[in-house]
């Protein structure tokens, strides 16, 4: 296994904000590659052989926007941690970004400690998943028509592969380990995002919505990921 380089790709067109992010990440021990546009970020991602744990992407950029960068990076690497930076007024953008495969978002303005908490938490999850993929003796979990492959983080439904992001994989792993049990949002948030997570529980719902689009026969009428009103969600394959 390679030495953990803790490498972060930062894409932000405003030099002052970019410098602020870069300096704080470097102080916290991250190796940072910076880009001032989406095009530059994609180029640098490839030039570095995709060797990143986390990418921080501003939404509003001069050329292609942060959502497009997110979509393309997610297409290249399902295990990359992606955090979107958005202005507070872009409420809808948060959801759009998360639907395109981002793992988290941070609203501007943000403090260095807030950003670092998010990056650290995501980085921990990404490394843990990488370590699990290398060390896991049990290679797959079975549940109904589904098989969750713990090595390549892929989900199979009736033999067909469903690509999952890091967060989606961890939610599915949690569901598969607790079939038929109601898991409340706080449990899911704590289990997947970690105790140190400072964001909102809404992020759980957004990821569940995205997962349903991938796993359900009819996403609007879910039968596998069932909502337990007022409580949370339940993984159910007995129907």
Q: Which residues bind Ca ion (CB under 5 A)?
A: 13, 58, 60
With tokens 């957004």, the residue in question is 206
Distance of closest approach, residue 33 Cβ to Ca ion, in angstroms: 18
Give the residue with the Cβ less far from Ca ion, 17 or 154. Answer: 17
Give the separation between CA 6 and CA 22, rounded to whole angstroms: 13
Give the separation between CA 127 and CA 140, rounded to whole angstroms: 19
Give the residue with the Cβ less far from Ca ion, 21 or 117. Answer: 21
Give the separation between CA 183 and CA 227, rounded to whole angstroms: 10
Distance of closest approach, residue 20 Cβ to Ca ion, in angstroms: 13
Give the residue with the Cβ less far from Ca ion, 34 or 168. Answer: 34
Q: Please give the residue whose beta carbon sits closest to Ca ion in the complex.
A: 60
Q: Are 70 and 82 in contact (CB under 8 A)?
A: yes
Distance of closest approach, residue 209 Cβ to Ca ion, in angstroms: 26
List the strands of the sheet with 155-157, edge to edge.
Answer: 140-143, 146-149, 155-157, 160-162
CA distances to 78, 202, 231, 238 from 81, rounded to whole Å, are 8, 18, 28, 33
Give the separation between CA 92 and CA 28, rounded to whole angstroms: 31
Distance of closest approach, residue 108 Cβ to Ca ion, in angstroms: 9
E-strand stretches of 65-221 = 81-87, 104-108, 140-143, 146-149, 155-157, 160-162, 182-184
Q: Are strands 155-157 and 182-184 parallel, antiparallel or unpaired?
A: unpaired
Give the residue with the Cβ less far from Ca ion, 60 or 95. Answer: 60
Give the residue with the Cβ less far from Ca ion, 17 or 162. Answer: 17
Distance of closest approach, residue 34 Cβ to Ca ion, in angstroms: 13
Give the residue with the Cβ less far from Ca ion, 63 or 75. Answer: 63
Distance of closest approach, residue 58 Cβ to Ca ion, in angstroms: 4
């Amino acid at each position: 296994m390679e030495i953990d380089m803790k490498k972060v790709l930062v894409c932000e067109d405003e030099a002052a904000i970019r410098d602020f992010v870069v300096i704080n990440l470097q102080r916290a021990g991250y190796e940072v590659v910076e880009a001032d546009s989406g095009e530059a970020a994609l180029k640098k991602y490839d030039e570095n052989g995709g060797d990143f744990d986390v990418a921080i992407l501003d939404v509003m950029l001069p050329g292609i926007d942060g959502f497009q960068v997110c979509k393309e990076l997610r297409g290249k690497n399902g295990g990359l941690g992606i955090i979107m930076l958005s202005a507070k007024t872009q409420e809808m953008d948060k959801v759009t970004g998360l639907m395109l495969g981002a793992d988290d978002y941070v609203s501007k303005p943000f403090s260095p400690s807030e950003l670092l908490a998010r990056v650290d938490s995501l980085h921990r999850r990404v490394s843990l998943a990488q370590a699990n993929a290398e060390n896991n003796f049990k290679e797959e979990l079975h549940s109904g028509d589904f098989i969750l492959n713990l090595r390549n983080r892929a989900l199979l439904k009736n033999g067909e592969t469903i690509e999952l992001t890091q967060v989606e994989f961890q939610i599915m792993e949690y569901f598969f380990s607790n079939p038929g049990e109601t898991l409340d949002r706080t449990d899911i948030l704590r289990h997947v995002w970690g105790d140190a997570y400072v964001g909102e529980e809404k992020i759980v719902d957004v990821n569940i919505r995205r997962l349903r689009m991938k796993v359900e026969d009819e996403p609007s009428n879910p039968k596998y990921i069932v909502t337990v009103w007022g409580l949370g969600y339940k993984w159910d394959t007995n129907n």
